[in-house]
Structure 1
Amino acid sequence: MTLPARSRLFLPVLGAGGGSGRTTVAGLLACSSTFLGTSVVLDTAPRLASPWPSWPSSPGSGLASVPPDQPFTRAQVHAAASRCIGPGGEWAVLTDHREWNHGPLPLPAEPAAWYQLAAGGGWQTTVADTSHPIAHDIVTARTERLPGLTAAWCSLPFAIPVLCAPTTGPGVAALQTAVKAASAEGLPLRRMVVALTAPGEGRLPAAVKAAATMLQSQVSAVVTVPFDPHIRNHGLAQANRLGRRTAEAGAALVKAVLASAHRTWGDPLPPAAAPASLSTQAVPVRPAQPAPEGVLTS
């Protein structure tokens, strides 16, 4: 099936802690969702901490060509996007392609700015590869009474958060802490999909199986992503060479995301908020507030 022409899904991929497999899951979601329509990954991490700049088969002009404080056209943001090839076809990545010795690019912190960037580009499935530890962010925002990044990502129109953790004892412990923090903050756990990523071969530890079983009643779905030697050696530079079990896990993630979206907003999905599409006029990358769900802006 494909998404209706004016529908859109936004998938913020969140890490419960370090080594959560967040970037791998983001790539799997993008390359496995190409049958739904056009898809893009937003690389929100600093350039020298991210593997995305080295993975695309056809690099674009990069995020530096779309400054966050200036208007942009759809053609401009498409030219900035790089291209990757997966089992189901081509998908895009917005990342920073400048050389290592350049100064840091001032990327916007507000999730709404990234939402506007992807909406302006017209992609139907947007995967945001975030880089902050969510439990720390939630607790800090709560105790200091500041806006939290995690809450902002989850509140974007048609957002299905995907929470990642490795299939290890410490990984599951970090996941359980993140779930407790999210629940205490009132974040949409029932809409979330949990991705458990295996860092190596072998059976799942008993503690991981028990945690996955307990989570089933708290979140929308729990999907296990198996270890893939190709990803360990090459990352997602050759996503069309993923193992069979990995491709199946990617398809399961997309199926779980779609099921969560349909339970939340209905099937078929209603039209998503979108900036006015004017080929000769630029649109701003940073909105004051994201538009309400299902209401087109102009």
Structure 2
Amino acid sequence: MRRAAGGEWDVLTDGREWHAVPLNLPPEPAAWYQLAAAGGWQAVVADTAHPIAHDVLTARCSGAPSLTRAWCDLPFAVPVLCAQATADGMQTLQQAVMVLHAEGLPLQRTVVVLAATGDGRPPAVVRAAATMLSARVAAVVHLPHDADIRAQGLQAQPARIRTRTRQAAREAAAAVLAAAHHAFGDPLPDAAQPAPLPTAHVPAV
């Protein structure tokens, strides 16, 4: 997103159907940073689905670059780990956090979002895991179940989004900003500008 004239914000996003096939986009995190810098975007939310723990372990065993580390190493990057607020979801999340900790990745500026799969209070195992995780990461945010978003995704009608969902979204955004300020300073310094690409010379015919 970037600030537009009149104090408003421009948002560039993929507004296709929720269950559409993902776009064929470059996997390299540096490409997204370059795009943001070239377009003047002030904040970029990159929604990735690669298995972070598997990626880190594979990189360590093979000696290949880690995609997870590349995302974390971008200037002013704040990792956000999302998991379902279930026993299986918490087990997977805790294992991932252990791998990230062992690899020295920045848990101190990582935000965890726990997405509820139904209404009601989170199960005891989720509450206990959230308490443990809160001591290792920057923040833990609980996202309540919202049937309209679950079914419609980005096509959900704003007027139908629950108040609790809006509040949780504000809490998540505030937690990310607070983590960035704590890690990099307040106000955030200007991000480094990537070097321009050399001019391509086309031979005359």
**TM-score of the superposition, structure 2-length normalised?**
0.84
**Pairing partner for 2:166 from 239, 247, 267:** 247
**Pairing partner for 1:168 from 82, 86, 91:** 86
Give the SS at the match of 2:167: helix
Give the SS at the match of 1:54: coil
Identity %: 54
Indicate whether 1:53 and 2:16 are aligned: yes
CA RMSD of aligned residues (A): 2.2
Gaps in structure 1 of 5+ consecutive residues: 6-34, 44-51, 56-94, 97-104, 277-282, 285-298
Relative contact order higher in (CA < 8 Å, ≥ 6 apart): 1
Confirm or deny: 8 A CA contact 2:28 2:67 kept in the other structure. Answer: yes
Give the deviation of 1:119 after TM superposition: 2.0
Deviations 1:139-175 (A, max 9, x none): 1111111111111000001101101110000000000
Give the SS at the match of 1:130: coil
Give the SS at the match of 2:154: coil
Amino acid corresponding to residue 58 of structure 2 in structure 1: T
Deviations 1:22-54 (A, max 9, x none): xxxxxxxxxxxxx9954445x7xxxxxxxx522
Confirm or deny: 8 A CA contact 2:17 2:154 kept in the other structure. Answer: no
As a proportion of its length, which structure holds more helix?
Answer: 2
Indicate whether 1:256 and 2:175 are aligned: yes
- Quick one: structure 1 residues 239 and 215, their matched pair in 2 at CA, closer, same or farther if it must change by over 3 Å? farther
Residues in 1 aligned to 2:48 and 2:151: alpha-carbon distance in whole angstroms: 22
Indicate whether 1:195 and 2:113 are aligned: yes
Indicate whether 1:235 and 2:153 are aligned: yes
Confirm or deny: 8 A CA contact 1:39 1:126 kept in the other structure. Answer: no
- Quick one: structure 1 residues 213 and 152, their matched pair in 2 at CA, closer, same or farther if it must change by over 3 Å? same
**TM-score of the superposition, structure 1-length normalised?**
0.59
Residues in 2 aligned to 1:210 and 1:271: alpha-carbon distance in whole angstroms: 39
Indicate whether 1:184 and 2:102 are aligned: yes
Residues in 1 aligned to 2:53 and 2:134: alpha-carbon distance in whole angstroms: 20
As a proportion of its length, which structure holds more strand?
Answer: 1
Indicate whether 1:158 and 2:121 are aligned: no
Residues in 2 aligned to 1:251 and 1:214: alpha-carbon distance in whole angstroms: 23
Confirm or deny: 8 A CA contact 2:75 2:192 kept in the other structure. Answer: yes
**Pairing partner for 2:58 from 135, 140, 147:** 140
Residues in 2 aligned to 1:149 and 1:275: alpha-carbon distance in whole angstroms: 19
Residues in 2 aligned to 1:200 and 1:264: alpha-carbon distance in whole angstroms: 34
- Quick one: structure 1 residues 36 and 220, their matched pair in 2 at CA, closer, same or farther if it must change by over 3 Å? farther
Amino acid corresponding to residue 176 of structure 1 in structure 2: Q
User: What pairs up with 1:2-81 in 2 under 5 angstroms?
Assistant: 37-41=9-13, 53-54=16-17
Confirm or deny: 8 A CA contact 1:196 1:224 kept in the other structure. Answer: yes
Gaps in structure 2 of 5+ consecutive residues: 198-205
- Which structure's CA Rg is the greater one? 2
